[in-house]
Amino acid sequence: MKKNILRIFLFFLISIVSFAASFNISELDVEAKLQKDGSMLVSEAVTYDIDEINGVYFDIDAKGYGGITSLQVFEDNGVSDNNEILFNEVNPSNYEVTENDGVYRIKLYSKNYNNVRTFKFVYTLPEAIKVYEDVAQLNRKMVGQDWQQGISTVKVTIEIPVSKDYDNSKILVFGHGPLTGEVDKVENTVVYKLDDYYPGDFLEAHILMEPEIFSEYDKSKIIHRDMKQELLDMEAKLADEANEERENALKREQRLQKISNNAKPIMGGIASIWAVLMYYIHMVFKRKNKSKNDNIKYLRDLPDYSSPALVGAIMTKSVNDNEILATIVDLIRRKILTLETTDKKTIITLTGSTGILSTQEKTLIDIYINDLGDGRSLDLKSFGFFHKVPMRTANKFEKWKDYIVNEMNREGLVYEH
């Protein structure tokens, strides 16, 4: 019976795995220009490496920044003599814009097959900064957390409305997000760079400037409070936390390396329940899910903070249906989900709180319970092996895989022989 339940899970999950995203994002180039009135003109150019698409979605989070104005959409049209991309403006009839709680979603219709395209979205945030008595502040996630795909290269350039010979030591620059990001000042611009962005990450710009720079700012909106020192203290605390995170990541990597150097095959009751499950899945389904490396080793005493999906990814150097199944069964073990089996039904039901779950675990709950279920439960036997999965759900699965890779990178979890 247990083996049949596992097969039902696995067959259903494979039908989702077959739906891969039909494009990759190679580059995101954001250029922003602050204006003396406190608004900011933003241009976001996204380069897609496309297999086949009918269009793209693009989200702009303008909550707290006065919405957006003067939206324009462009598509590439060749390159100039100096190898710069040329753009044509897209007719508004070829895209739709919806807004929900300050987030604007652009649905751009553009059928493409097996090519590389760059689309540019240009808009204005009318209330980009806050001005206090002693400081002007820009604080915005220039790259949000809701991208459905990873991005190979991210560059954000923010121009301050001062001359190039302005003393930029008066411009205090901070960045929040992955510890691998870089930030620099070049004359009157601030440049943020990040390689290998993963969905769920973000890149936040925090810039403190002299309030006199924004001479055209609406004086009625000035916050009559000295805020500079409080913001600097906050950044100092965040810097200490980031340094501690770096040290902990290094310790985790060293600990995991020590474990892997002394790894032995998993033995029955000595291993944790989910590690045994991973071994069992590998043995039962090894013909269908054969590892790329036939000499893979199994870890015996894995760190307590590692989820089944993370450990499975380390062990097999891949993220696939094994990791989904291990996560689902672990959620059942932790009483977040319950499993009910009869001759006619195999039902998983959400019974516990999701507040304590990681992002990747919440994503699987969302897929199975909300997208494929009725919001509370899902009968696995009601789905056939070739059941069609909506592309929106398939994209969530791709996002789930990226969350795991992202989590591995954050934790320094790199398995080496």
Token code pair at residue 4: 């049949």
SS (H, E, C) 396-413: HHHHHHHHHHHHHHHHCC
Asked whether residue 27 falls in the same domain as residue 9, the answer is: no
Polymer length of the chain: 417
Asked whether residue 148 falls in the same domain as residue 130, the answer is: yes
Does residue 369 form part of some domain? Answer: yes
Please, what is the angle between helix 2-17 and helix 391-411, to 10°?
Answer: 100
β-bridge partners, 410: none
Residue 22: count other Cβ atoms within 10 Å of its Cβ: 16
Q: Which of 234, 253, 282 is the last residue of a domain?
A: 234
Asked whether residue 11 falls in the same domain as residue 33, the answer is: no
Asked whether residue 105 falls in the same domain as residue 130, the answer is: yes
- Contact of 64 with 84, CB cutoff 8 Å: no
8-state DSSP, 18: T
Asked whether residue 226 falls in the same domain as residue 295, the answer is: no
Does residue 256 form part of some domain? Answer: no
Does residue 228 form part of some domain? Answer: yes
Does residue 239 form part of some domain? Answer: no
Domain of 148: which CATH number?
2.60.40.1730
395 pLDDT above the threshold of 80: no
Q: Please give the residue that has the higher pLDDT: either 66 or 145.
A: 66
Asked whether residue 223 falls in the same domain as residue 300, the answer is: no
Q: What is the pLDDT of residues 105-134, one digit of tens each?
A: 999 999 999 999 999 999 999 999 999 999
DSSP reduced 3-state for 166: coil
Does residue 245 form part of some domain? Answer: no
**What CA–CA distances, in Å, run from 124 to 43, 60, 64, 71, 93?**
9, 11, 13, 7, 20
Asked whether residue 13 falls in the same domain as residue 117, the answer is: no
Q: How far apart are CA 192 and CA 276, in angstroms?
A: 44
Angle in degrees, CA 315, 201, 19, rounded to 5: 60
Asked whether residue 203 falls in the same domain as residue 324, the answer is: no
Does residue 416 form part of some domain? Answer: no
Asked whether residue 228 falls in the same domain as residue 366, the answer is: no
Q: Which of 180, 212, 234 is the last residue of a domain?
A: 234
Q: Please give the residue that has the higher pLDDT: either 302 or 333.
A: 333
Q: What is the CA radius of gyration of the chain?
A: 25
Mean pLDDT for 250-263 is 53
Domain count, the chain: 2
Asked whether residue 50 falls in the same domain as residue 195, the answer is: yes
Mean pLDDT for 188-201 is 88
Report yes or no on whether pTM surpasses 0.75: no
Q: Which residues 6+ apart lie within 8 Å of 208 measured at CB?
A: 135, 136, 137, 171, 172, 174, 228, 231, 232
Does residue 382 form part of some domain? Answer: yes
Asked whether residue 146 falls in the same domain as residue 61, the answer is: yes
pLDDT at 266: 35
Select from 163, 151, 275 the least CA-distant residue to 201: 151
State which residues form the domain around 59: 23-234
Q: What is the pLDDT of residues 283-331, one digit of tens each?
A: 433 333 333 333 333 333 344 446 777 666 665 556 666 778 788 888 8
Does residue 329 form part of some domain? Answer: yes
Report the phi/psi class of residue 178: left, alpha or beta, with left for phi > 0 and alpha for psi in -120 to 50.
Answer: beta
The structure tokens 């003067």 sit at 70
Q: How far apart are CA 277 and CA 275, in angstroms?
A: 5
- Contact of 314 with 413, CB cutoff 8 Å: yes
Asked whether residue 289 falls in the same domain as residue 146, the answer is: no
Q: Which of 217, 234, 251 is the last residue of a domain?
A: 234
Angle in degrees, CA 169, 171, 175, rounded to 5: 115
Where do runs of H (alpha helix) occur along 189-335? 228-261, 273-284, 308-316, 321-333
